Amino acid sequence: MVVPLDERIPEPMLPAAFRVRKNRRETPDTHTLELASIAEGVPAWRPGQFMMMYVFGAGEIPISISGDPAKRDCIVHTVRAVGPVSRAICDAKEGSSVGLRGPFGSVWPIERAEGRDVILVAGGIGLAPLRPVLHTVMANRDKYMRVSLLVGARTPDILLYRREMDRWRKRRVDVRLTVDAAAPGWQASVGPVTTLIPRIEFDPSSVVAFIVGPEIMMRVVSQVLAQRGVSYDRLFVSMERNMKCAVGFCGHCQLGPAFICKDGPVFSYPTLEAWLAIRNV
């Protein structure tokens, strides 16, 4: 579902000032920040959307919203430090200020999952944009059938939200983890996230799946789910590709006929299937 730009924020190119209320370290290089509005209030947003986060003197990057959609007193982002701007965000002190503009982009079609089995598949930091879906499911658990969360990471120490996973399990979420390289004491799976798909129960005739991670991972996961009988039109992916302006002006994030920032980041898999199969597009 694409959200029209005029429904997002009155001044899409003008950052609003937010104060860092909390900065919690999730992994050695990843932090979750709670940001409170200084003057203009927290904009309404929906799961799947992203904000452009601006650090004064460092620059601006797109960051998925990872908080609870029901809480409107702050906006939450989980950020991995991989470049100068993201490192500056992770280093932001509580009480300091950052700029936000947005929200931008399309949303997860959670309404299509009601009354159905739900599969969430995340690779690494891809769990962050799926976390609002989990908050929504937890708040309305009786509206959904079986819910499975499959998470893959390179190593155990970079798995996100480990403390929250126990709460999700208590709310009847089948949480399964896998890593590429195990560590001492690791008792879960080792291997790609696709190895978890044969282990979960779902009705392939009605299940809805939301998938986030590296592009090749999303393509392979979609193919494996299709082999189990899931229709491609019930698979949804979230893309993150070179977004700069967030309004489809600069062209950096174009993939085929689509602009990820404006037409995405959430797409039905058939929309992108042909383009994801082409290398270096």
Residue range 201-221, pLDDT digits in tens = 999 999 999 999 999 999 999
Write out the DSSP string of 132-157. HHHHHHHHTGGG-S-EEEEEEESSGG
What does pLDDT average to over the chain?
93
**Residue 62 resides in a domain:** yes
Query: What is the C-alpha separation between 202 and 146, in angstroms, rounded?
Result: 7
Both tokens assigned to 82: 């991989």
Question: Residue 248 domain-assigned?
Answer: no
- C-alpha–C-alpha distance, residues 14 and 158, integer Å: 34
Q: Which of 65, 80, 104 is the last residue of a domain?
A: 104
Task: Please provide the DSSP assignment of 12-30 as one string.
Answer: TTSPEEEEEEEEEEEETTE
Which of 130, 188, 129, 126 lies closest to 155 in space, CA to CA? 188
> Tens digit of pLDDT for each residue in 31-55?
999 999 998 789 999 999 999 999 9
**Residue 10 pLDDT grade (very low, low, confident, very high; cuts 50, 70, 90):** low
Task: Report, as an integer, the average pLDDT of 124-147.
Answer: 96
**Whether residue 136 sits in one domain with residue 96:** no
Question: Which residue, 62, 82, 104, sits at the end of a domain?
Answer: 104
Verify that 13 and 47 share a domain, yes or no: yes
Q: What is the pTM of this model?
A: 0.93
Give yes or no: residues 82 and 130 share one domain: no
Indicate the number of domains in the chain: 2
Amino acid 281: pLDDT? 61
| Residue 35 · residue 100 · CB < 8 Å | yes
pLDDT tens for 157-166 read 999 999 999 9
Domain boundary among 104, 135, 155: 104
